[in-house]
């Protein structure tokens, strides 16, 4: 009789646990654009610098860039960015869209805002200046980070790959990466692809054009 009671209790416990897990799946209130964690990490430190190595096809692009973090408020960083205006016919359509207020003496000068923590990475590039998650480092393939703008349009970022081995070349290292894809709302651009790493942050960006060409760049951090 006691074995029967124990078995019954075990089955009830399993059933309740399963129901709880199912309930969590369908009733999760987690905001994909809420990012926690500490911003007190090397890549988010004031004074940290970044370099990039953009290319289109086999053509390398020298932007003579100067990228530096000038402020960190609990992981929300301000980044000063300065680079040459690239004279590249393939990108002329997009270069012409750069506001004249951002260009001085042939150089682009602007500020970018990110949230960088030990749990993930966000940018504020949308028209409303809202935080939009690029990655959470605990992400699973299939996770989505959606942001609906004030004009009613939604930007979707989706985790499409996650490596658990060091298989992506990055400078002198091979590292694990999470790959996130974003749909495009810009004419002529098909999608954006971001690769990130929990230690180095954003490490690689690709812009896939409608004509099949790809603009890509590594992103290297001074601190890590």
Q: Which CATH class is domain 32-221?
A: mainly beta
3-state secondary structure the chain: CHHHHHHHHHHHHHHHHHHHHHHHHHCCCCCCCCCCCCCCCHHHCCCCEEEECCEECCEECCCCCEEEEEEEECCEEEEEEEEECCCCHHHHHHHCCCCHHHEECCEEEEEEEEEEECCEEEECCCCCCCCEEEEECCCCCCCEEEEECCCCCEEEEEEEEECCCCCEEECCEEECCEEEEEECCCCCEEEEEEEEECCCEEEEEEEEECCCCEEEEEEEECCC
The predicted structure's pLDDT at residue 157: 98
> What does the pLDDT read at residue 12?
39
Q: Is the pLDDT of residue 6 over 90?
A: no
Which range (2-6, 62-66, 161-165) has the least confidence?
A: 2-6
User: If pLDDT is split at 50, 70 and 90, which confidence band does 90 have?
Assistant: confident
pTM of the model: 0.85
Tens digits of per-residue pLDDT, 34-75? 999 999 999 999 999 999 999 998 899 999 999 999 999 999
């Amino acid at each position: 009789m006691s074995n029967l009671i124990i078995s019954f209790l075990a089955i009830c416990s399993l059933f309740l646990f399963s129901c709880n897990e199912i309930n969590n799946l369908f009733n999760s209130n987690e905001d994909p654009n809420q990012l926690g964690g500490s911003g007190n990490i090397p890549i988010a430190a004031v004074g940290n610098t970044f370099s990039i190595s953009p290319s289109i096809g086999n053509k390398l692009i020298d932007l003579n860039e100067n990228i530096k973090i000038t402020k960190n408020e609990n992981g929300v960083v301000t980044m000063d960015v300065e680079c040459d205006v690239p004279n590249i016919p393939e990108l002329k359509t997009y270069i012409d869209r750069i506001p004249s207020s951002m260009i001085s003496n042939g150089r682009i000068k602007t500020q970018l805002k990110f949230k960088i923590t030990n749990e993930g990475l966000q940018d504020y590039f949308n028209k409303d200046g809202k935080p939009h998650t690029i990655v959470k480092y605990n992400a699973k393939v299939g996770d989505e980070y959606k942001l609906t703008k004030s004009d009613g349009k939604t930007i979707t970022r989706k985790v499409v790959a996650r490596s658990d081995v060091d298989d992506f070349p990055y400078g002198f290292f091979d590292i694990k990466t999470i790959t996130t894809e974003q749909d495009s709302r810009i004419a002529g651009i098909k999608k954006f692809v971001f690769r990130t790493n929990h230690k180095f942050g954003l490490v690689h960006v690709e812009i896939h054009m409608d004509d099949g060409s790809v603009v890509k760049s590594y992103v290297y951090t001074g601190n890590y």
